Amino acid sequence: MVNRDVRATLTLPGREPLILMVTPAPDGAAGSYGSYGSSGGQEVYVAMADGRSHGNPVHAGDLEEGAPQEPGDAATVLSVVAEAAQETVMELLWQVWPLCREHGTGMHPRPAGTSEDWCPGDSAAAGPPVWWCRGGGNGGCHDASPIGELADTLPGKERRALRGEERRALRRGGRR
């Protein structure tokens, strides 16, 4: 779903989608103690197609230190992967992604319907994950798009061209 947003709003080198990359965890690292059910001490990163990544693994929890358990629901996993993808893209390509079409500012993954003062772990916000915009200089915070549906925010001509490209790729038997 995150790659749908990448494809709709960002030109990656070689236009290859982002990947999930599994690497051995260093001894004693968070991944050594239960990374998404792995017992071999592995860490999972969101990376460029060439394997470069930046930031924390998508499962930053050390169960021995009392950190929260690994996310188990699809909405939380999607938010964590979207955040990791955003960090990799921004740090390796040196550009803000994704941008709010209305305000031109960077957006962040959050549960739908959150307010400006929302904090991660706040159980009051339980909506599906969205790209959330803080708004312009005068506020105007808003949910810009559900994660995976940024293409729907594109102007008509761009949106139709993207959908046509997706259909052609499916006919060729590949996924982009």
Q: For residue range 93-128, what is the model confidence (pLDDT) as tens digits?
A: 999 999 998 888 899 999 888 878 777 766 655 689
Structure tokens at 61: 């929890």
Is-contact 145 152, C-beta < 8 A? yes
Alpha carbon 116 to its chain centroid, in Å, reads 20
In the prediction, which pLDDT does 82 show? Answer: 94
Of the CA atoms within 13 Å of residue 29, those in its CB half-sphere come to 17
> What's the CA dihedral at 115, 81, 60, 131 to 10 degrees?
-10
Cβ neighbors of 164 (< 8 A, separation 6 or more) are: none
Q: How many CB atoms lie within 10 A of CB 4?
A: 17
In the prediction, which pLDDT does 126 show? Answer: 66
Domain segments of the chain as ranges: 2-171
What's the pTM?
0.75
Indicate the average pLDDT of the chain: 78
Alpha carbon 121 to its chain centroid, in Å, reads 17
Q: Residue 146 — φ and ψ, nearest 5°?
A: -60, 145
In angstroms, rounded to a whole number, what is the distance separating the alpha carbons of residues 133 and 41? 36
- The H or E element containing residue 172 is none
In angstroms, rounded to a whole number, what is the distance separating the alpha carbons of residues 120 and 98? 20
Cβ neighbors of 176 (< 8 A, separation 6 or more) are: 7, 15, 17, 165, 166, 169
Structure tokens at 73: 């629901």
In the prediction, which pLDDT does 39 show? Answer: 45
Q: Look at residue 37 and tell me whether its pLDDT is greater than 60.
A: no
DSSP 36-83: GG-SS-EEEEEE-TTS-B-S--S----GGGTPPPPP-SHHHHHHHHHH
